[in-house]
Amino acid sequence: MSFVLAWLTFVLVERPIRVQRRGRVSVALAVGLSILGAAGLGTYALRGFPDRFDIDVRALTPEPRRNHLCPDEFRLHRLFNYCKGTQSAPPAAIVLGDSRAQSVYDGVADTLGARHSLTLLARGGCPPILGGDLHYLNQQGCKEVWDSFVKYVEEAKPRLVVLVGGGIHLLDPADARLEKTSDFATQEDAFKYGLRELIMAVGRTSRVVYIRPLPYFETAPSCFLRPISLPGNQCSPTIQRSALEAEMASFDRILYELQDEIPRLQLVDGIAALCDAMSCSQTLPSGELMYADHIHLSSAGGRHFARSSGLIDLIEEELGRTLPAADITTEVSTQDPKG
C-alpha cells in the first residue's frame, strides 16, 4: 500500500507540480509547507494527541524521572537519573535502587506523599550493592553512585530506607563481570558481600526494607497489544510462577541468609504481590496494564504493588510510630560483614 500510494503521489501530484514555473505555485507550496511545519511543531509541543490511544497504550507512557524536590546535591549530577521528592522537608523515607525503583516510589508517593516526606534516588543499571567488584558488562559508575547514596542516607537519617532493584542477572556471567582483582571466587560471593555491606551501612541510621525481585518477562506489553502480530512473534502477557522462582533460587538463598544474619532486615515479596498461585501476568484483572515494558511496572502496576505487597502499610506504620531514645543501630546485627 505504501509503494502504491507513493507512486500515485509522485505521478499525480509531484510530477505535475515540478513542471510548473509560475511564481504563485512556489508561493502556494511555501505556504503549504509552513502550515504543515507549524502543525508538526504544535503537535510535538503538545506531545501528540494522547486521546487517540486506548487506556492500555496510555499506560505505557513513562512518568517523569525528576522533579523540583530532588535533593540539591543530586539535582544537576548526571550519574543520578531518577531523583524526586514529595515534600521540601528532610525525607522520612528514601527509596533507593535502579530504574525499577521509580514505579515502586510512584506507587507509594501516590498514597503517602501528601502525609510524609518521601525521596527517590536511583540510577538505571545499578542494582543495590556497595562495592565495585561486580557490575553489568556495559555499566560504569555504579560504585560512585552507591557511595553517594549511602553518604546521603547517613546525613539525612531517614526513618526508613527501601531498597529496590534486585540485580538477579548480576549472578549470570553472560550479563555481569566480576573484576579480576576481586577477592571473591564467584559472582554469588561478591553479590552477597556487596548487598550485606549496603544493608549494614544504611541500617546504621535507618530501618531497611528490601523488595525481593519483581517478576520480569521475555516480551513487553507493546508486543501483545498490537492488533496484528507478525508470524513468529512469541508474545505472551504471562509467565509461569514456578519457572520464575526456579530462576531466582540462588538469589533468594542469598536474601534469606542475609535476613538470618540481620534480624531487622525486612523483605517484601514482589512475586507474591504480583502473581497468583500459578502464573504472573503483565495485566491486572481489571484489564489495566501492570507493566510498561518487560521489566518495569507501569503507574497502575506501581500502585497495585504498593498496596498488595503491604509496603504502604509497612511504611505508614514505621513513620507513624515513636522512635525509642536508643540509637537504631542497636537493633542491627553487628556481625562482621565478611562473615
Closest CA to 113 of 98, 128, 95: 95
User: In CATH, what number is assigned to the domain containing residue 132?
Assistant: 3.40.50.1110
Specify if 111 maps to a domain: yes
Q: Which helix (H) or strand (E) holds 176?
A: strand 176-178
Please answer whether residues 180 and 329 qualify as being in contact, where contact means their C-beta atoms are separated by less than 8 angstroms. Answer: no
Specify if 5 maps to a domain: no
Specify if 152 maps to a domain: yes
Specify if 9 maps to a domain: no
Q: Checking DSSP bridges between strand 82-85 and strand 118-122, what pairing results, if any? A: antiparallel
The SS3 call for residue 93 is strand
pLDDT score, position 99? 93
pLDDT score, position 80? 79
pTM of the model: 0.79
Specify if 19 maps to a domain: no
pLDDT score, position 332? 35
Specify if 272 maps to a domain: yes
Name the one residue in this structure whose C-alpha cell is 537504631. 328
Residue 116: domain span = 59-331
Blockwise average pLDDT, block size 10, the chain, 339 residues:
96 87 84 94 82 66 86 77 93 96 95 94 93 85 92 95 91 90 89 95 95 91 78 83 93 94 92 94 86 91 94 92 45 36
Taking CB atoms within 8 Å and a gap of at least 24, the contacts of 70-75 are 71/119, 71/121, 71/152, 73/148, 73/152, 74/121, 74/148, 74/152
How far apart CA 199 and CA 128 sit, in angstroms, is 9
Outline where 10-65 has alpha helix (H). 15-18, 23-45, 55-58
Name the one residue in this structure whose C-alpha cell is 511543531. 41
Q: 311-320 and 299-308 are packed helices; what angle lies between their axes, rounded to 10 degrees?
A: 60
How far apart CA 248 and CA 284 sit, in angstroms, is 23
Cβ neighbours of 77 (radius 10 Å): 13
How far apart CA 289 and CA 168 sit, in angstroms, is 24
**Number of domains present in the structure of the chain:** 1
